[in-house]
A and B are shown apart, each in its own frame.
Chain A
Amino acid sequence: GAGVSQSPRYKVAKRGQDVALRCDPISGHVSLFWYQQALGQGPEFLTYFQNEAQLDKSGLPSDRFFAERPEGSVSTLKIQRTQQEDSAVYLCASSPNTVQELQFFGPGTRLTVL
């Protein structure tokens, strides 16, 4: 049984570049969450999907951040015109529909913006 996978594991971007981060949730998991983890901090909620519907995007820090899950499985978090303050680990988590709060995390993508 594969867990949540994320790619790339590491991404270095120059300031102003666009980046796309991918999340493959556990098969059959309906709910998908994105979190941002700054160095030395706990993860902070960004956005939430139930199937393909984005039900909550209240944690996205700016309109440069965009997430999608078009077929209700794989999700992509896109950051446009990256800034240095975007440097963080981006974590994806998925959960079964029956117990949404039971979240399984992927290894994260470490984004460094130079």
Chain B
Amino acid sequence: QQQVKQSPQSLIVQKGGISIINCAYENTAFDYFPWYQQFPGKGPALLIAIRPDVSEKKEGRFTISFNKSAKQFSLHIMDSQPGDSATYFCAASRSTGANSKLTFGKGITLSVRP
């Protein structure tokens, strides 16, 4: 059973547009929800993360919206740029306990057209 599911599978956006990527999770014990960006040949890099005590977090052009009751969270990229073209992964973990391993979604490929 996939614990973290992403949608859509791929996304094409025009430069300057808004990119929206959604994520749903199963395990209600998760309490840390990061988004990672990965370029070809590189490791995932943390973009932004949220905890369930807030419904929204904004850092520059990136915003996470969190809906605890629906067990969903989303990433919004404002004013999308060609340099944002990459694979985006949502993830979830438990910050308490002995192991804060991340459970990742399958990723979505974002293409921003000039």
Among A35, A91, A105, A107, chain B packs the most CB atoms within 10 A around the CB of: A105
Chain A residue, CB-CB nearest to B32? A101
Verify A102–B106 contact, CB threshold 8 A: no
Verify A107–B42 contact, CB threshold 8 A: yes
Give B11 Cβ to nearest chain A Cβ, in Å: 15
Chain A residue, CB-CB nearest to B31? A101
Give B22 Cβ to nearest chain A Cβ, in Å: 15
| Chain B residues, CB < 8 A from A100 | 95, 100
Query: How many interface residues does chain B have, given as a range?
Result: 20 to 34
A-B contact count (CB 8 A): 64
Give A29 Cβ to nearest chain B Cβ, in Å: 13
CA distance A42 to B44 in the complex (A): 10
The B-contacting residues of A in range 21-58, CB under 8 angstroms, are 31, 33, 35, 40-45, 48, 50, 55-56
The A-contacting residues of B in range 74-105, CB under 8 angstroms, are 89, 91, 93-95, 98-105
| Chain A residues, CB < 8 A from B101 | 33, 45, 48, 56, 59
Verify B104–A43 contact, CB threshold 8 A: yes
Q: Tell me whether B114 is interfacial, beta carbon within 8 Å.
A: no
Task: Number of A interface residues at 8 Å Cβ cutoff, please give it.
Answer: 28
Q: Tell me whether B46 is interfacial, beta carbon within 8 Å.
A: yes
Interface pairs A-B: 5 shortest CB-CB: A42-B104, A105-B43, A100-B100, A101-B100, A45-B101
Interface CB pairs A-B, < 8 A, 27: A33-B101, A35-B102, A40-B106, A40-B107, A41-B106, A42-B4, A42-B104, A42-B107, A43-B44, A43-B102, A45-B101, A45-B102, A48-B101, A50-B98, A55-B99, A56-B99, A91-B43, A91-B44, A95-B100, A101-B32, A101-B100, A101-B102, A102-B46, A103-B100, A105-B36, A105-B45, A107-B41
